Amino acid sequence: MEDHFQNPLRDIVLQKMYSGEWAGTMCLTEPGAGSDVGALKTTAKRNADGTFSIVGTKSFISGGDQDLSPNIIHPVLARIEGDPKGTKGISIFMVPKIRFNEKGELGEPNDIFCSGIESKMGIHGSATCTINFGDNGKCIGYLMGGERQGMPIMFHMMNEERQAVGMIGASLAGAAYLHALDYCKQRIQGQNVIAMALKVENAPAVPIIDHPDIRRMLIKMKSISEGLRALCLLCYFCMDNMFSAMFSKQLDPNANKEELDKQKEYWEGMIEILTPVVKAYATDMGMVVCDLAVQSYGGYGYCREYPVEQMMRDQKINSLYEGTNGIQALDLLGRKIGMKKGANFTNLLNYTKDAIDEAEKIDTLKPEAAIVKDALTACGITAKEFSKMIAVTPFVPLIGACDYLNCLGDALVGWLHLRIATEATKKFFDPSTSEQDKSFYRGKIEGAKFFINRITGLVIPKLENLKKDEQSAMNIPLESFAGA
């Protein structure tokens, strides 16, 4: 096994994929086992030479088949014959589209067939396929890692993928906002609201960015998209610190290894908490921005000749794949917040204190600092109360899980805006700052104030509502879901 794959062939695969010569996928989902990964039916049968014969079907595989690269490497989740049911019995295999030898030279096809291309709402530039493995009994796979270690190995990639999906959500939001801003500056329609109120005769038509409701939409898009970007960067900042601790321990013989282990554990815990929030919140709120962008165009936003319509369709998939946002919410509330007896979550909340303390010293930001502080405190209190409810009224926190995650996101992004506004305020009042730069910093300050007052400010009443013993979603009989 070691000689056959782990040594020369692994190095070939990594080199080819790092260089971009060969492409790759992640074959997890099956037609009958979407989020319930443990119900997969793909099998792996041992061969005498240490390889495995793979048989099964995977669906919704991004880049599952294409002619842009000479080979595609499929990591495939499958169950070795005889292994237990559920996720604990799953292994993961490297399955190439085209077989290759120990020199990296391509050989015969590996009995992998694209049986369908999904007709999607958006992301039409991605070949999303249903793939059949081993229809003719000739599909060969190579075990990755140890047997029955498929899920932990997959999650090494999946957690980072979830962070990347959050960044895609933030990126689409930013692009949609900029397109909407450009359109609203140029679109001439209607009179200035003051001129209308005063009934000024022959008042000229103005760009729609002069209208209060358009400004509301634009500053909401601006504040959300900038906040989402900061949230994603916070997660990557934590990753940088975690890897720094790991590599310092390995590379510096004089390093304090005990202290570096503590640092690694600290930042790793922060990532655990932030990952489901980044994935779900950034994509949910990214959809809000795309929706507002379409709205700001009026009827033209609904037409395909303008880009925001495509961005809205492309954005929707981000709340669905790599674990739906509902799963992210259950992961946050059911696992991540309680990890290490709540230490990771406590560390995250404590991490916010310095920025809040600094903002409280700035008169123009004191009200916003109080809102953010109270919202984060309420998130911590609600998490504790939900943990007590699980044993008594479990449906209450489960029904409220998605809304709780978004409340935590509203509070954290409010805190990030507070940090941004604190620095922007210093720069704005710096005598050396140019007028052009002052306009930039003023935008950051006003965007932060809008977000904190109009979004973070709603966190506490939302959380109070979530804690009510309101279970109509579970009480309604199945037959009562019938239409009017």
Among all residues, which ones are annotated catalytic?
Answer: 322
Q: Please report how the helices 459-466 and 401-428 are oriented relative to each other, as an axis angle in degrees rounded to 10.
A: 170
C-beta of residue 410 within 8 angstroms of C-beta of residue 459? yes
Judge residue 49's burial from the number of C-beta atoms within 10 Å of its C-beta, 0-12 exposed, 13-18 middle, 19 or more buried: exposed
Residue with tokens 């008169």: 363
Q: How many Cα atoms occupy the beta-carbon half-sphere of 236 within 13 Å?
A: 12
C-beta of residue 229 within 8 angstroms of C-beta of residue 170? yes
Tokens of 129: 């396929």
Where are any strands of DSSP class E within 19-89? Answer: 23-24, 43-46, 52-62, 72-80
C-beta of residue 365 within 8 angstroms of C-beta of residue 359? yes
Calpha distance 295→312 (Å, rounded): 11
Spatial neighbors of 338 by CB under 8 A, at least 6 apart, are 345, 387
C-beta of residue 159 within 8 angstroms of C-beta of residue 279? no
Calpha distance 336→231 (Å, rounded): 17
C-beta of residue 94 within 8 angstroms of C-beta of residue 5? yes
Calpha distance 413→407 (Å, rounded): 10
H/E segment holding residue 112: strand 112-117
Query: What are the residues facing 418 on neighbouring strands?
Result: none
Judge residue 389's burial from the number of C-beta atoms within 10 Å of its C-beta, 0-12 exposed, 13-18 middle, 19 or more buried: middle
Calpha distance 305→282 (Å, rounded): 26
Judge residue 250's burial from the number of C-beta atoms within 10 Å of its C-beta, 0-12 exposed, 13-18 middle, 19 or more buried: exposed
Nearest to 270 by CA among 299, 241, 249: 241
Tokens of 186: 């140029």
